[in-house]
């Protein structure tokens, strides 16, 4: 392979990472520990995450200066499209980079409990991370990479009420 072909492959890989990550609502991120589905915003050549605060997504295993494996799914089919290795950088609250990232993240945050005060809460109680791509891999693995769901407190603890199927069927008949 010539140097020009290698350079062209690297540019195509970067373009695929950027476009796929921009369009995907979730990315799978694995730092030190299991992979997690995280919402993000793409800004200035990197994926940005906010979390580790009350009511926000957990960013366990992602440390400043560390690395993470990011897998991006196809928006239309939901399957794995591209994977890339990222350098993790924690942005200092109210820095220029933090303000720019938070402006993008604010528009992507759904159902925020505190609306306009959200960015102040993020500065005081949360971490904002920048995942900068280092390399991209478009080759698909032979194995499925399926994993059991992570334990969570957000599960149904009781069986569905017996009347629920009847109630649902009545709505459809109307």
Domain count within the chain: 1
pLDDT, one tens digit per residue, over 21-79 is 998 889 999 999 889 999 999 999 999 999 998 889 999 999 999 999 999 988 788 78
Q: Report whether pLDDT(165) > 80.
A: no
CATH of the domain at 67: 2.30.110.10
In which residue are the tokens 């399957």 written? 79
Residue 130 vs residue 16, higher pLDDT: 130
- Given a contact cutoff of 8 angstroms between Cβ atoms, the answer to whether 64 and 89 are in contact is yes
Q: Tell me which of 172 and 14 has the higher pLDDT.
A: 14
Residue-number span of the structural domain to which 13 is assigned: 3-173
CB-based burial label for 20 (10 Å; 0-12, 13-18, 19+): buried
Distance CA 139, CA 71 (A): 12
The angle at the Cα of 148, spanning 129 to 53, to the nearest 5 degrees, equals 30
- Segment 118-143 shows an average pLDDT of 88
Burial class (CB in 10 A: 0-12, 13-18, 19+), 83: buried
Q: How confident is the model at residue 173 (pLDDT cuts 50, 70, 90)?
A: low
Strands 41-43 and 67-73: unpaired
Q: Work out the burial of residue 22: count CB atoms within 10 Å of its CB; fewer than 13 is exposed, 13-18 middle, 19 or more buried.
A: middle
Are 21 and 27 within 8 A, CB to CB? yes
pTM for this entry: 0.80
């Amino acid at each position: 392979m010539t140097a020009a072909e290698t350079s062209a492959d690297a540019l195509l890989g970067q373009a695929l990472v950027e476009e796929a990550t921009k369009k995907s609502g979730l990315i799978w991120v694995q730092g030190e520990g299991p992979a997690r589905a995280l919402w993000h915003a793409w800004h200035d050549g990197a994926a940005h995450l906010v979390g580790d605060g009350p009511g926000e997504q957990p960013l366990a295993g992602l440390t400043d200066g560390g690395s993470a494996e990011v897998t991006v799914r196809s928006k239309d089919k939901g399957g794995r499209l591209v994977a890339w290795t990222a350098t993790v950088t924690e942005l200092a609250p109210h820095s220029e980079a933090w303000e720019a990232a938070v402006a993008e993240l604010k528009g992507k945050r759904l159902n925020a409990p505190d609306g306009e005060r959200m960015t102040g809460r993020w500065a005081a109680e949360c971490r904002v991370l920048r995942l900068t791509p280092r390399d991209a891999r478009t080759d698909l693995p032979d194995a499925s990479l399926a994993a059991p769901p992570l334990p969570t407190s957000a599960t149904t603890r009781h069986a569905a009420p017996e009347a629920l199927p009847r109630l649902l069927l009545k709505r459809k008949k109307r």
